[in-house]
């Protein structure tokens, strides 16, 4: 799941950059374009291009995060299915029963491989 705070943070930064540009423009009397040695720079076009690029990067980042989380959850699900399959088998004899009891104790005291409760996937 994508953290909405991360999403808001990206757009806050975009808006902050726009506001900074507007403030700089007011302070330095920057026009819509400026002629330089090698050509002319159109600021409104530059800002529009940067905003589109930022939105594109934002979309790619969200897609990447979604893919990572999906893969993590598939792996976690497969691991829990393997645990369930093992524990749902009927014990044939006492040795089998003791092995199942040992498995239950091990599972209840440890986390699945690759799952750190303090970290996020990806």
Residue, of 46 and 27, whose pLDDT is higher: 46
Give the whole-number percent of the chain exceeding pLDDT 70: 67
Q: Is the pLDDT of residue 94 over 80?
A: yes
- Domain boundary assignment for the chain: 4-109
In the chain, DSSP finds a helix count (H) and a strand count (E) of: 3, 2
Write out the two tokens for 76. 């976690």
Question: Is the pTM higher than 0.75?
Answer: no
**74/18 Cα distance (integer angstroms):** 40
Residues 34-55 have a mean pLDDT of 78
- Are 102 and 69 in contact, with CB atoms under 8 Å apart? no
How confident is the prediction for the chain on average, in pLDDT?
Answer: 77
């Amino acid at each position: 799941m994508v953290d909405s705070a991360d999403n808001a943070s990206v757009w806050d930064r975009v808006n902050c950059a726009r506001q900074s540009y507007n403030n700089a423009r007011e302070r330095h009397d920057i026009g819509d374009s400026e002629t330089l040695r090698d050509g002319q720079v159109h600021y409104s076009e530059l800002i529009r291009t940067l905003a589109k690029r930022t939105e594109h990067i934002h979309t790619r980042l969200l897609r990447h995060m979604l893919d990572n989380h999906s893969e993590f959850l598939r792996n976690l699900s497969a691991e829990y299915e393997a645990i369930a399959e093992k524990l749902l088998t009927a014990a044939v004899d006492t040795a089998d029963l003791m092995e199942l009891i040992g498995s239950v104790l091990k599972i209840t005291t440890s986390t699945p491989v690759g799952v750190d409760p303090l970290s996020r996937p990806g």
